[in-house]
């Protein structure tokens, strides 16, 4: 069992370091940076929709811990809570003259990613406790998903007005919730807790993508930009679908 704990800690810390990959976007400047961020945010919106529905919500339903109606109510609760959090953040940060230096969706992304990473830690722990080989396969799939998502999240934070150094620190700090999830999973794994958090986090991700990220692309009237955003969005959704198919073929999801 201690071998499993070693690998759980190692993989979840490595998962946290993935957050620094967002710094690759800093090599771009001016209009080039704007184009890169535009594409990455669209891709991130697609991964949030795809990940929220195809992975988190789907897995919660397939677990049969709660009935479908309960899962959907938890999903709606997650969506609603994120709506409330955004309104409170907007009031707190942007109520003076309606100006906001850092858009509230930047903080929502961090909250949602924190929940998502906590779940990742629980999943990694459950896999390693079951079988070390299964733990490695599951960890690979999670890290493969985290690389583009964390780059996309960093792009969202920058586009939302956050300074690059602050975005890196915040992103890394939130990513380390995977370590907390791993330890919780190893010592206190609860099937009901994980089954509750999956649709709740899914609701939050769907809210962020549909209410904050996608509307950003309607602000640019150029059809070429709209089609580019749509293309990157679809690529994000398809990426999450392919990850699910690959995981299903290996029998780890």
Give the pLDDT confidence of 26-80 residue by residue, as tens digits. 776 667 767 777 887 888 889 889 888 988 888 889 888 899 999 999 999 989 9
pLDDT tens digit sequence for 200-245: 888 988 988 898 788 878 877 888 888 999 999 999 999 888 888 8
Using the structure block, give the residue that is written with the tokens 């996608």: 214
Crossing angle (nearest 10°) for helices 2-17 and 164-175: 160
d(CA 193, CA 243): 24
Q: Give pLDDT, residue 235.
A: 94
C-beta separation of 135 from 127 below 8 A: yes
Question: Quick one: how far is CA 59 from the chain centroid?
Answer: 15
* Tokens, residue 171: 């992103």
Report pLDDT digits (tens) over 106-164: 677 788 778 878 888 888 888 888 778 778 877 876 776 676 667 767 777 777 777 77
Look up residue 22 and give its DSSP letter: G
Classify 193 as helix, strand or coil: helix
Confidence of residue 1 (pLDDT cuts 50, 70, 90): low
Q: Structure tokens of 231?
A: 């293309």
Kind plus residue range of the DSSP H or E element containing 98: none
Does the pTM surpass 0.85? The reply is no
**Token pair in block for residue 10:** 């190692």
pLDDT band at residue 93 using 50, 70 and 90 as cut-offs: very low
């Amino acid at each position: 069992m201690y071998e499993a704990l070693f690998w759980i800690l190692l993989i979840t810390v490595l998962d946290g370091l993935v957050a620094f990959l967002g710094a690759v976007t800093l090599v771009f400047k001016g209009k080039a940076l704007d184009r890169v961020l535009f594409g990455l945010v669209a891709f991130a919106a697609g991964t949030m929709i795809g990940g929220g529905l195809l992975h988190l919500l789907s897995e919660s339903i397939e677990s049969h811990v709660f009935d479908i109606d309960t899962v959907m109510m938890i999903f709606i609760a997650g969506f609603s809570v994120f709506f409330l959090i955004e309104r409170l953040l907007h009031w707190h940060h942007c109520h003076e003259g309606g100006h906001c230096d850092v858009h509230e969706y930047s903080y929502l992304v961090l909250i949602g990613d924190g929940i998502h990473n906590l779940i990742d830690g629980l999943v990694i722990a459950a896999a390693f406790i079951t079988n070390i080989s299964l733990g490695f396969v599951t960890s690979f799939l999670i890290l493969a998903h985290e690389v583009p998502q964390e780059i996309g999240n960093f792009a969202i934070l920058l586009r939302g007005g956050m300074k690059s150094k602050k975005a890196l620190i915040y992103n890394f700090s939130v990513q380390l919730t995977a370590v907390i999830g791993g330890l919780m999973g190893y010592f206190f794994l609860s099937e009901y807790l994980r089954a509750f958090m999956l649709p709740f986090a899914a609701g939050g991700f769907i809210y962020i993508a549909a209410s904050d990220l996608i509307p950003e692309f309607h602000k640019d009237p150029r059809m070429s930009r709209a089609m580019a955003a749509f293309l990157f969005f679809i690529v994000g959704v398809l990426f999450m679908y392919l990850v699910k198919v690959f995981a299903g073929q290996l029998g780890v999801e």
